[in-house]
Amino acid sequence: MKGPASDEEIIRILRGFDESGQPVREYCRAKGISVTTLYNWKKRFGTMEVSEVRQLRALEKENARLKRLLAERDLEIDAVREVLRKKW
């Protein structure tokens, strides 16, 4: 598989693995992914449906944005404190 997998592809691969009964290495080779990738997806997405995966990704994106905003705010506060420490 080239490039990042879509949410639908991940869920389809995970469901297919559960139903296939094939050995892990053979299934992964057929799908073009590594065994590690399969187990990471299984650990992260487990029994989720496509809509739940999309919601999880949206929440992760929002969380990253909020963390970035908080870091910027903390930098601004530090800069203001530094300016206020100087005696004019």
Check residue 88 and give its pLDDT.
60
**Spatial distance between the Cα atoms of 11 and 48, rounded to a whole number of angstroms:** 8
Query: What pLDDT score does 38 carry?
Result: 95
Q: What does the pLDDT read at residue 52? A: 94
Cα distance between the two ends of the chain? 62
Q: Phi, psi at residue 68, to the nearest 5°?
A: -65, -45
Contact between 47 and 27 under an 8 Å Cβ cutoff? The reply is no
Q: Once rounded to an integer, what is the mean pLDDT over residues 78-88?
A: 85
H helices present in the chain, as ranges: 7-20, 24-31, 35-45, 50-85
pLDDT, tens only, 8-62: 999 999 999 988 889 999 999 999 999 999 999 999 998 899 999 999 999 999 9
pLDDT at 87: 66
Q: What is the pLDDT of residue 65?
A: 98
CA dihedral 28, 32, 35, 38 (to 10 degrees): -90
